[in-house]
Amino acid sequence: MVTELTYTENIFAGTRAELLAKISQQLKPKRFKHVQRVEQTAITLAKRNAVDLEKASIAGLVHDYAKQRPDEDFITAIKQYHLDPMLLDYGNAIWHGVVGAELIKHELGIYDEDILNAVRHHTTGAVYMSPLEQIVYMADYIEPQRDFPGVDEARQLAKTDLAKSVAFQAKHTLEYLVENGKPVYPKSIDTYNAWVPQYPTI
């Protein structure tokens, strides 16, 4: 069952349908469906964790807003908004979150810092993550079409212990990057250190 929230908090200056229309202009159909699944998963997790449902809906829908933008748009934004120049050493995987949040702010007029941080941190996690940030980080990982070894365990943990599920993802994502010789964004290591040693057995 799809929950179509009626927005009342004026976080976005428009209806959910208007926000969906703006996002659909930015994303190919497959990714557009993904963000709607993340929204629904985020709403379910928000209900369980007493997090604002409208924020969960908006954050879920916008989290990949910038995913399909060309590299030049991110490079321009890093310079224009005076973001950490070290970001220039990375690529879309990092940019669509950290830099994407700035595009969301300026293009969609969404200024809620909790939502923007949820976007900024949805791929790498962060040392401190608010409940909303944890929800979006997990919803992106466990939405119904995700299929990887361990996803059922991640879904179960997210249901019962949100913080522990964050630790699970931080550990398994870092393992995946290292095993596949992929670059590790330094902040992902900070995330690992902040979350994983609390749960040595996961």
Instruction: Give the interface with Fe ion as residue ranges (CB under 5 A).
Output: 64, 140
Residue number, 49 or 92, with CB nearest to Fe ion: 92
Residue number, 151 or 199, with CB nearest to Fe ion: 151
Question: Least distance in Å: CB of 181 to Fe ion?
Answer: 21
Question: Least distance in Å: CB of 158 to Fe ion?
Answer: 15
- Longest Cα pair distance anywhere in the chain, in angstroms? 46
Residue number, 64 or 133, with CB nearest to Fe ion: 64
Closest CA to 66 of 33, 27, 100: 100
Residue number, 54 or 64, with CB nearest to Fe ion: 64
Question: Least distance in Å: CB of 96 to Fe ion?
Answer: 6
Question: Least distance in Å: CB of 15 to Fe ion?
Answer: 23
Question: Least distance in Å: CB of 10 to Fe ion?
Answer: 25
Contacts of 115 (CB under 8 A, 6+ apart): 11, 55, 58, 59, 62, 132
b/e sequence 35-72, b meaning 16+ C-beta within 10 Å: bbbbbbbbbbbbeeeebbebbbbbbbbbbbbbbebeee
The CA distance from 198 to 161, in Å, is 13
The CA distance from 182 to 85, in Å, is 21
Question: Least distance in Å: CB of 127 to Fe ion?
Answer: 19
Residue number, 8 or 118, with CB nearest to Fe ion: 118
Q: What CA–CA distances, in Å, run from 61 to 27, 107, 197?
A: 11, 15, 31
The CA distance from 13 to 74, in Å, is 24
Residue number, 6 or 174, with CB nearest to Fe ion: 174
